[in-house]
């Protein structure tokens, strides 16, 4: 079996047992207690929304909650041994129904949600609870949101619907308001680094954690996917002292073919660091300065850095929606070249 990727969306068919290994991380202890207390006291609602930054472990918490509900002997945590747990861990529980983005699709489709709702309306196979999981729930279109709303308004008996999302603003408000929210908070940088160091001794965890926007499981994922090497490669491509050596079109070609999403994450992290440094004075953030990141080119002023940050964020959002990655990088890197040379041109519109 392939190594479990801790942070990714639930799009790939990985066994719940594999993904559940992250449910025991220390920063999930509080939300785990919250869920099990609600269950013990019989006040678990019919729908919960597990949310927090991507890569913080909400996926593992959602699966843990599903297993807890289905377990036949659980008190405050799933037993892992009863018939239900065995079926669940093997990915075969007949009363557990997960919906995620299908291969080659960008969104969860309305038909998937309708099928899920129809299945949840039927009688439980094992005569106990039924659980539906929608992940990532923030990648449903408006019709899928509406389809889900009907089930949220008239929930079937003994059914728990679990939504997992990192962006609440991409869910219909009417859906959010009908779920009990469980927030997964990120650990502090110090806690996250200590935990990562326990997983594997590396000297670039702080750079990887910054690139993962502080989410430890995402950092672990980045390390496994060779992002440490990527960081060195990116740093070499942006030589701070010789911005004229920066060839945007050649780089766009290379980057669009090789880990484009990771490169955009790296760029956002790097430009954010430039903005912070420029805004707070060059030495104010030195305690947190990640030495694996290059300094800004001489021509980059604060206004240009803010403009670049907007561009990178927009590019990340477009890339998620599978727009032409080469064009996207060309637009972005031409903008970088202009900024490094000391001026920003009027930004062109990207054709969708």
Give me the least distance between CB of 72 and Zn ion, in Å please: 5
Tokens of 349: 């519109």
Closer to Zn ion by Cβ: residue 70 or 101: 70
Contact present, 303 and 246 (Cβ < 8 Å): no
Residue 62 class from Cβ within 10 Å (0-12 exposed, 13-18 middle, 19+ buried)?
A: buried
Closer to Zn ion by Cβ: residue 81 or 173: 81
Contact present, 220 and 7 (Cβ < 8 Å): yes
Give me the least distance between CB of 80 and Zn ion, in Å please: 6
Residues forming the site for Zn ion (CB under 5 A):
71, 79, 82, 85
Give me the least distance between CB of 133 and Zn ion, in Å please: 17
| Structure-token match 């997992």, residue found | 164
Give me the least distance between CB of 13 and Zn ion, in Å please: 23
Helix axes 260-280, 248-257, angle to 10 degrees: 130
Largest CA distance in the chain: 69
User: Number of helices (H) and strands (E), helices first, in the chain?
Assistant: 15, 5
Q: Where are the beta strands (DSSP E) in the chain?
A: 47-51, 96-99, 130-134, 159-165, 180-183
Tokens of 85: 């747990």
Closer to Zn ion by Cβ: residue 78 or 335: 78
Contact present, 136 and 142 (Cβ < 8 Å): no
Give me the least distance between CB of 156 and Zn ion, in Å please: 22
Closer to Zn ion by Cβ: residue 63 or 300: 63
Closer to Zn ion by Cβ: residue 92 or 174: 92
Give me the least distance between CB of 122 and Zn ion, in Å please: 23
Closer to Zn ion by Cβ: residue 79 or 213: 79
- Spatial CB neighbours of 149, under 8 Å, sequence gap ≥ 6: 172, 174, 175, 178
Closer to Zn ion by Cβ: residue 70 or 184: 70
Residue 125 class from Cβ within 10 Å (0-12 exposed, 13-18 middle, 19+ buried)?
A: exposed
Closer to Zn ion by Cβ: residue 82 or 334: 82
| Structure-token match 């484009």, residue found | 260
Give me the least distance between CB of 112 and Zn ion, in Å please: 28
Q: Which long-range contacts (CB under 8 A, 24 or more apart) does 42-46 make?
A: 44/69, 44/160, 45/179, 45/180, 46/152, 46/155, 46/159, 46/160, 46/161
Give me the least distance between CB of 71 and Zn ion, in Å please: 3
Task: Using alpha carbons, list the distances in angstroms from residue 32 to 27, 129, 207, 334.
Answer: 9, 19, 29, 47
Q: What is the CA radius of gyration of the chain?
A: 22
Closer to Zn ion by Cβ: residue 69 or 152: 69
N-to-C CA span, the chain: 38
Contact present, 186 and 55 (Cβ < 8 Å): no
Closer to Zn ion by Cβ: residue 85 or 332: 85
Give me the least distance between CB of 88 and Zn ion, in Å please: 8
Contact present, 113 and 134 (Cβ < 8 Å): yes
Give me the least distance between CB of 82 and Zn ion, in Å please: 3
């Amino acid at each position: 079996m392939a190594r479990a990727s801790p942070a990714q969306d639930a799009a790939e068919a990985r066994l719940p047992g594999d993904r559940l290994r992250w449910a025991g991380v220390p920063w999930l202890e509080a939300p785990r207690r919250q869920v099990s207390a609600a269950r013990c006291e019989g006040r678990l609602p019919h729908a919960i929304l597990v949310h927090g930054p991507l890569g913080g472990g909400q996926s593992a918490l959602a699966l843990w909650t599903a297993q807890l509900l289905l377990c036949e002997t659980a008190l405050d945590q799933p037993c892992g041994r009863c018939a239900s747990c065995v079926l669940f861990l093997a990915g075969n529980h007949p009363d557990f129904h997960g919906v995620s983005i299908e291969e080659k699709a960008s969104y969860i489709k309305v038909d998937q949600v309708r099928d899920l709702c129809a299945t949840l309306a039927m009688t439980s196979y094992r005569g106990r609870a039924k659980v539906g999981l929608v992940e990532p729930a923030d990648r449903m279109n408006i019709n899928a949101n509406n389809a889900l709303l009907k089930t949220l308004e008239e929930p079937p008996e003994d059914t728990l619907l679990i939504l997992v999302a990192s962006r609440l603003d991409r869910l219909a408000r009417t859906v959010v308001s009908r779920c009990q929210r469980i927030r997964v908070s990120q650990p502090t940088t110090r806690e996250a680094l200590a935990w990562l160091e326990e997983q594997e001794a590396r000297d670039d965890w702080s750079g990887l954690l910054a690139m993962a926007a502080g989410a430890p499981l995402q950092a672990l994922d980045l390390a496994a996917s060779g992002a440490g090497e990527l960081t060195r490669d990116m740093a070499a491509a942006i030589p701070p002292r010789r911005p004229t050596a920066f060839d945007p079109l050649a780089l766009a070609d290379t980057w669009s073919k090789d880990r484009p999403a990771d490169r955009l994450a790296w760029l956002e992290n790097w430009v954010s660091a430039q903005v912070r440094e420029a805004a707070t004075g060059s030495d104010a953030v030195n305690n947190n300065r990640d030495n694996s990141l290059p300094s800004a080119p001489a021509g980059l002023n604060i206004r240009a850095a803010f403009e670049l940050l907007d561009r990178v964020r927009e590019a990340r959002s477009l890339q998620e929606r599978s727009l032409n990655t080469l064009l996207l990088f060309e637009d972005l890197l031409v903008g970088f070249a202009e900024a490094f040379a000391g001026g920003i041109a009027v930004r062109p519109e990207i054709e969708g």
